[in-house]
Amino acid sequence: MGKALPLNAGHFIARWQQSSAAERANYALFLSELCDYLDVPRPEPSKAEENANTYVIDKAVFFQNLDGSTTVNYIDLYRRSCFVLEAKQGSNPSLNSIPPPTSSRVPNRLKRGTAVRGTHGWDEAMLAARGQAERYAKALPVSEGWPPFLVVVDVGHSIELYADFSLTGKAYLPFPDPRTFRILHEQLEQAEIKERLRAVWLDPLSLDPSRETAKVTREVAGKLAVLARNLELHHPPKQVAEFLTRCIFTSFAEDVKLLPERGWLNLLESLRDDVGNFPPMAEALWQTMNEGGFSPILRAHILKFNGGLFESTKALPLTRDQLGLLIEAADSRWRDVEPAIFGTLLERALDPNERHALGAHYTPRAYVERLVIPTLVEPLREDWRSSQAVIVEQVNAGNTEAAIETARAFHR
């Protein structure tokens, strides 16, 4: 179909906000105009050879039944290596107030949507659509690969995004997070939202947060590696690694608000011209972190950090240049730093002989995920899906208190 001119945001949003008819009446036109609005190519015409349908409306997928027969279903919109999209059409509450025709001679042309928005039925319909999209993704031929995104659309009302950047089909999670994965129709005029959706169409892997994480991690690891090599000239590698691990954790704790904002960073910066007092100041802070309570160093009550990391509070003396490197590292976006930096630190800081003696070896994230996802994550998600089913039944039965308790029981 090619590419049409981009639509005006206000016109597109207003045009589709009132849509409430049956799903099949609207979704194809809506998706085509959404592509125009996002300034991305429209879907291509469907071809007889199914393998050639890489970006089409109504992509066929085949399910094998127990009796040996085959059932054919259709993905509402499919783009290879990008997404599986399932569309629904909800209705506004006001539509239910329209009375049916009083005369049998007047045909009932009122096409109601999947469910009334703002109701439990609508929530169930959206969850079911997400499950349907995942089943379609699973039914795709192996040669197609797993798409990084599942997209669930309520025409003219919302677009929900679920991502699995591991491309294993094992972990489709709300993207970018559970609070903002649902994009309301009126939000489409926001530049950030529009660019996010364009990326889903054109370059979905660019949205993988691990890419930014890897970049920040490399920068931080580089600074710490220089510092580690400097310190190893005068201190045992094990002592250096333990000291820097405490520094790393303190930087991370500050960035995720477990310590007062900029408390650690301000402390380091205040010592630029007083580096001789760095060891006792850092040791006093870490002692309080180990026990919890009021920290005279940060002038605030802080939490107790158990786990043994701060049982030893030894801080190594630093030169002004070394402190400068530590400040640069501490001033990074630690919430974006890959936890593997602890392993990277050991790999870079310890020479091969010391590393072997300590048994310190870095295991890449992908290897860890290969073990953790099937043994821990998948069973936990299955438990949550079972709990969700029970919660839906309890809510539909009017037993809200029992539903809340079911959720709390899973949480515990």
Q: Which residue has the tokens 């949507």?
A: 113
153 in a domain, yes or no? yes
Count of domains observed in the chain: 3
Q: Are residues 74 and 188 in the same domain?
A: yes
Distances (CA, A) of 293 to 210, 261, 281, 301, 364: 35, 17, 16, 5, 36
Contacts of 126 (CB under 8 A, 6+ apart): 88, 152, 154, 160
Distances (CA, A) of 81 to 49, 55, 74, 141, 196: 18, 10, 17, 12, 16
Q: Are residues 224 and 319 in the same domain?
A: yes
Q: Are residues 122 and 176 in the same domain?
A: yes
Residue where a domain terminates, one of 151, 174, 207: 207
4 in a domain, yes or no? no
Average pLDDT (375-387) is: 88
Cβ atoms 36, 75 nearer than 8 A:
no
- Determine the straight-line distance between the first and last CA of the chain, rounded to whole angstroms: 52
In our burial notation (b when 16+ CB lie closer than 10 A, e otherwise), range 135-161 reads: ebbebbeeebebbbbbbbbbbbbbbbb
Residue where a domain terminates, one of 346, 362, 378: 362
Residue where a domain terminates, one of 157, 186, 207: 207
187 in a domain, yes or no? yes
3 in a domain, yes or no? no
**Residue 128 pLDDT > 70:** yes
Q: Residue 86 — φ and ψ, nearest 5°?
A: -115, 125
Closest CA to 130 of 62, 83, 81, 70: 83
Q: Are residues 29 and 43 in the same domain?
A: yes
Q: What pLDDT, on the 0 to 100 scale, is given for residue 99?
A: 54
Q: Are residues 36 and 181 in the same domain?
A: yes
Average pLDDT, the chain: 85
- Of 374 and 405, the one with more pLDDT: 405
276 in a domain, yes or no? yes
Q: What pLDDT, on the 0 to 100 scale, is given for residue 306?
A: 85
Q: What pLDDT, on the 0 to 100 scale, is given for residue 340?
A: 63
Instruction: Dump pLDDT digits (tens) for 72-95.
Output: 999 999 999 999 999 998 887 765
Q: How confident is the model at residue 353 (pLDDT cuts 50, 70, 90)?
A: low
% of the chain residues with pLDDT over 70? 85
**Residue 131 pLDDT > 80:** yes
Q: What dihedral do alpha carbons 175, 176, 182, 187 form, nearest 10°? A: -140
Give the number of other Cβ atoms within 10 Å of residue 188's Cβ.
18
Instruction: Dump pLDDT digits (tens) for 197-244.
Output: 999 999 999 999 877 777 777 778 778 888 888 998 999 888 888 898
Instruction: Dump pLDDT digits (tens) for 284-304.
Output: 999 999 999 999 999 999 999
Q: Are residues 199 and 216 in the same domain?
A: no
Cβ atoms 91, 125 nearer than 8 A:
no
Cα separation of 176 and 194, whole Å?
A: 14
Q: Are residues 34 and 86 in the same domain?
A: yes
24 in a domain, yes or no? yes
Q: Are residues 25 and 174 in the same domain?
A: yes
Q: What pLDDT, on the 0 to 100 scale, is given for residue 360?
A: 45
Cβ atoms 247, 342 nearer than 8 A:
no
Q: Are residues 257 and 233 in the same domain?
A: yes
Q: Residue 169 — φ and ψ, nearest 5°?
A: 70, 10
Structure tokens at 296: 């005279």
Q: What pLDDT, on the 0 to 100 scale, is given for residue 60?
A: 94
Pairing of strands 70-79, 83-88: antiparallel
Q: What pLDDT, on the 0 to 100 scale, is given for residue 358?
A: 43
1 in a domain, yes or no? no
For residue 379, give its domain range. 367-411
301 in a domain, yes or no? yes
Q: Which residue has the tokens 């036109």?
A: 29
Q: Are residues 65 and 177 in the same domain?
A: yes
Q: Please state the pTM of the whole predicted model.
A: 0.68
